[in-house]
């Protein structure tokens, strides 16, 4: 049972969960403050249970703040909001309308070394953000893992200081997403749980753990149940919830197929007890979605989740919990400091993200989609898990087929519908 009084963001999610609602959330971010402010206001007015998002731009993610400032001066488009370059005054103006309307906002960024970003969060009183030392390093950067771990230690300690202003900060682990596809769920569950423990070890008391929708509904329900169980075992006393991501791989090209996949993620959130859902839109396969398209997706996912009853019964057990627990225990045996343990685990191959090319990832593991349509290990490398019987090493053409498995399946459901 949590003994933590959550800040505005986590409190809103908890209140919705008590009402039986799933909070739906967009990922949008704009460089123009007026557009960003309008986007937040439009999300707040939507017919859905929502929280807002400010997604940062690519320059800010890698610490290229001068480049972001030049882009603002030149009027060049940015693919997100440059929170450091804009400064405190502009950011507070962007947040003001959402805050006045009672909609909490999370800043999402993607940075392996986010000290400047966290300084901006603290300066603006932003109580919710996300990422992690593994999940924002290995898939998306060339930063050495040790440097990312050290940076995130400092950021967690600094962010916990928001408590001195009377606000409990909330940090979401992106660890349940990693590359978003062809990664058997035991590893996703283990990494997000370990990142949550890392956050707690460095002062955070309100955290959320993530999971990205994969290729099989029943397997995903089992993974979410395993994550719930592990949170109870390893993070007692903290304020926690689970956030689900609509499928992050190759997205259906037809509108009908894309909406069916979004609806499937909304049903999964309800069946799996996720409190929050990051949505995608039918435009995802082709371009960055508009504000209106984001709102349409939010409202659609909210309707589907509201219409869905709870799961019929407990999920089956195909070993996701046991696999995740084995990985967690193998890491924690390496050092009492979880950051050090994570670095050693990747060096030894006890954690190994399939198809990830980062220099600190051994790259010996491989996942595949088995004959039941579920994710399994064809080669677990040195991780303490077993390869599935019948697992085969994917050829380049086989890999492409596996990567498009979900897209092709849902586009068949939308057969006859034109691509967006």
In whole angstroms, what is the distance from residue 10 CA to residue 2 CA?
12
pLDDT at residue number 101: 84
pLDDT at residue number 419: 46
Instruction: Note the pTM of the prediction, 2 decimals.
Output: 0.95
pLDDT at residue number 32: 96
* Residue ranges covered by each domain of the chain: 8-307
Of 179, 141, 152, the C-alpha closest to 359 is: 141
Distance from first CA to last CA of the chain, Å, rounded?
46
Q: Are 159 and 122 in contact (CB under 8 A)?
A: yes
Of 74, 84, 83, the C-alpha closest to 30 is: 83
What is the per-residue pLDDT across 183-206, written as a single tens digit (0 to 9) for each? Answer: 999 999 999 999 999 999 999 999
pLDDT at residue number 233: 98
The CATH superfamily label for domain 8-307 reads Methylmalonyl-CoA mutase (3.20.20.240)
pLDDT at residue number 100: 86
What counts of helices (H) and strands (E) characterise the chain?
15, 10
pLDDT at residue number 420: 46
What is the per-residue pLDDT across 150-181, written as a single tens digit (0 to 9) for each? Answer: 999 999 999 999 999 999 999 999 999 987 67
Task: Please list the ranges in the chain whose pLDDT falls under 70.
Answer: 1-2, 180, 391, 414-420
102: left (phi over 0), alpha (psi -120 to 50) or beta: left
């Amino acid at each position: 049972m949590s003994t933590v009084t959550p800040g505005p963001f986590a409190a809103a999610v908890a209140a919705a969960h008590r009402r039986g609602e799933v909070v739906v959330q967009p990922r949008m971010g704009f460089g123009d403050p007026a557009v960003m402010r309008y986007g937040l206001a439009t999300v707040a007015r939507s017919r859905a249970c929502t929280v807002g998002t400010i997604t940062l731009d690519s320059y800010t993610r890698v610490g290229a703040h001068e480049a972001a400032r030049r882009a603002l001066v030149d009027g060049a488009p940015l693919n997100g909001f440059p929170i450091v370059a804009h400064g405190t005054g502009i950011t507070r103006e962007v947040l003001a309308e959402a805050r006045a309307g009672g909609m909490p906002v999370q800043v999402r960024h993607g940075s392996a070394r986010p000290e400047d970003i966290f300084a901006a969060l603290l300066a603006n009183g932003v109580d919710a953000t996300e990422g992690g030392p593994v999940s924002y390093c290995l898939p998306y950067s060339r930063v050495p893992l040790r440097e990312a771990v050290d940076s995130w230690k400092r950021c967690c300690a600094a962010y916990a200081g928001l408590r001195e202003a009377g606000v409990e900060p909330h940090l979401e682990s992106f660890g349940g997403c990693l590359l978003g596809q062809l990664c058997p769920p035991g590893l996703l569950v283990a990494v997000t749980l370990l990142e949550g423990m890392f956050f707690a070890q460095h002062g955070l008391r309100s955290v959320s753990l993530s999971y990205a929708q994969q290729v099989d509904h029943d397997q995903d329900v089992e993974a979410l149940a395993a994550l719930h169980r592990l949170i109870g075992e390893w993070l007692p006393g903290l304020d926690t919830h689970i956030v689900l991501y609509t499928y992050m791989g190759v997205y259906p090209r037809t509108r009908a197929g894309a909406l069916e996949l979004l609806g499937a993620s909304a049903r999964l959130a309800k069946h799996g007890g996720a409190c929050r859902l990051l949505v995608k839109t039918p435009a995802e396969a082709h371009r960055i979605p508009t504000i209106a398209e984001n709102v349409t997706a939010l409202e659609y996912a909210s309707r589907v989740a509201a219409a869905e009853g709870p799961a019929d019964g407990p999920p089956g057990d195909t070993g996701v919990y046991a696999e995740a627990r084995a990985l967690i225990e193998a890491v924690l045996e390496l050092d009492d400091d979880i950051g050090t343990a994570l670095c050693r685990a990747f060096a030894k191959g006890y954690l190994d993200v399939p198809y990830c090319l980062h220099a600190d990832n051994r790259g010996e593991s491989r996942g595949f989609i088995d004959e039941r349509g579920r994710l399994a290990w064809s080669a677990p490398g040195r991780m303490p898990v077993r390869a599935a019987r019948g697992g085969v090493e994917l050829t380049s053409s086989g890999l492409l087929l596996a990567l498009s498995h979900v897209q092709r399946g849902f586009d068949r459901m939308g057969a006859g519908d034109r691509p967006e």
